[in-house]
Amino acid sequence: MTARVATYHRVSTLDQNPALAPRKLRAAAGRLGRLVLEVGEVGSGARNDRPGWQAAGVRFTVVTQGLDIRPAGDSMSRLLLTMLAGVAEFEAATPTDRGRSVSRLASGRGERWDATMT
């Protein structure tokens, strides 16, 4: 039985081109099975209410990074999800931490700095 494959891609900023990803995703889908659904969205990755992302019981494969997360929740899939959640949390906090550090450095020099000045 041929696997049914859905693709999902998202761009988060207006200057990103949403037309670039589908070609690569279609090629990967062809290697994995039969493409039955393509979903593309524009929006923040920090939001979890994206309609195109709401799916259950699917295998999640990131072809460019070699990630393969299975819906059955095998031990490797759970490990990958735990690590990815940690990385996401770190990335979300990093700009704030950097901004505070730069702000403290600037104020120590008698300068004004805020995040909009980058």
Q: What length does the chain have?
A: 118
Of the pLDDT bands very low, low, confident and very high (cuts 50, 70, 90), residue 34 is very high
H or E element, residue 105: helix 75-108
Span 112-118, mean pLDDT?
A: 53
Query: Which residue ranges make up each domain of the chain?
Result: 1-71, 73-118
Span 83-105, mean pLDDT?
A: 75
Any residues with CB less than 8 A from the CB of 14 and at least 6 apart, and which?
42
Q: Choose between 6 and 43: higher pLDDT.
A: 6
pTM: 0.54
Contact 4, 36 (CB under 8 A): yes
Residue-averaged pLDDT of the chain: 77
Of the pLDDT bands very low, low, confident and very high (cuts 50, 70, 90), residue 118 is very low
How far apart, in whole angstroms, are the C-alpha atoms of residue 44 and residue 26?
Answer: 23
